[in-house]
Amino acid sequence: MTTTVVWHPACGLHDAGVGHPERPERIAAVLQALRAPELGRSIEWCEATPVERESLVGVHGARYLDLLEQLAARGGGVLDADTIMGPRSWESALAAAGVARGAVERGLETGTAFGATRPPGHHALAGRAMGFCFLNNVVIAARHAQALGRARVLIVDWDVHHGNGTQALVEDDPSIRYVSLHQYPWYPGTGAAEERGVGNVFNVPRPPSLARDVYVRDLLAAVDAALDGWHPDLLLVSAGFDSLAGDPLGGFTLEPEDMAHWTTAFRERVAPAPVIGVLEGGYALEGLARGVAAHVRALA
């Protein structure tokens, strides 16, 4: 069995400056890990096509896209305290969105895929960049899947930070269900269990430093709740590896084999629906590389 890894070289062009945790070395570490000889027979590679900005208007407002494009044309600038656009960040953002869409297309063909997206996306709101994110890659992927005939989409987010942008973009739409395990209270302060949308949001806020098996169990329980009486046509994973033990931006205790276990469990629960990973956070390079490799191996 194999899976497809979708990527684009422009995802390495975004540079928020010296010392910023969301650095180009992240995507380099991911691609290096996935090109290791032991994964060679498990992966087919596909270079994505960057999106045209007009295709993003269904997720992000035109005025916001104008702002990003114009800021990039001026050489970049600061969007918030954490989110800085460099001179080629717009290229990276369009490439990352293209990677997410390409992963959907390949996943629909073969059953699984992984999109090596950078910059990440799950904090991006319809009209605001935040938390290192410019465009919401996983929602762009979900809407693309729906345009291709997959009406019901489940998004499962295991990044250590709550995907406030994803929740805000889907919480009024019962055709998409969103499950998020995240450290709480923690950035960005959203994601309480009481936030239910139209009954389609399943938040799992947890404190740091719990035993691994608690996090593993509780996310699967929330996924089971989301699947109760409802079967998706596609499952998208917002795959953030800052939830691994030792990440500088989180306090969870997970190990790469936990991500592999989740991935296998998701595939079993939603079969025959495809399962597609979309990269979010992860800021300890060695852990990020090991986590992505475990996830992709389970997809294959």
- Burial letters 243-261, b for 16+ CB under 10 A, else e: bbbebebbbbbbbbebbbb
Q: Is 110 exposed, middle or buried (0-12, 13-18, 19+ CB in 10 A)?
A: middle
Residue 123 is a catalytic residue: yes
Work out the angle at residue 36's Cα, subtended by the Cα atoms of residues 297 and 27, and round it to the nearest 5 degrees. 85
Long-range contacts of 245-249 (CB under 8 A, 24+ apart): 245/287, 246/284, 246/287, 247/160, 247/281, 247/282, 247/283, 247/284, 247/287, 248/21, 248/283, 248/284, 249/21, 249/160, 249/161, 249/281, 249/283
Supply φ then ψ for residue 40, to 5 degrees.
Answer: -55, -40
Q: Is-contact 96 140, C-beta < 8 A?
A: no
Residue 144 has which token pair? 């693309």
Q: At what angle do helices 25-34 and 285-299 cross, to 10 degrees?
A: 40
Enumerate the β-bridge partners of residue 238.
Answer: 157, 278
From 8, 14, 122, 123, the catalytic residue = 123
Q: Which residues are catalytic?
A: 123
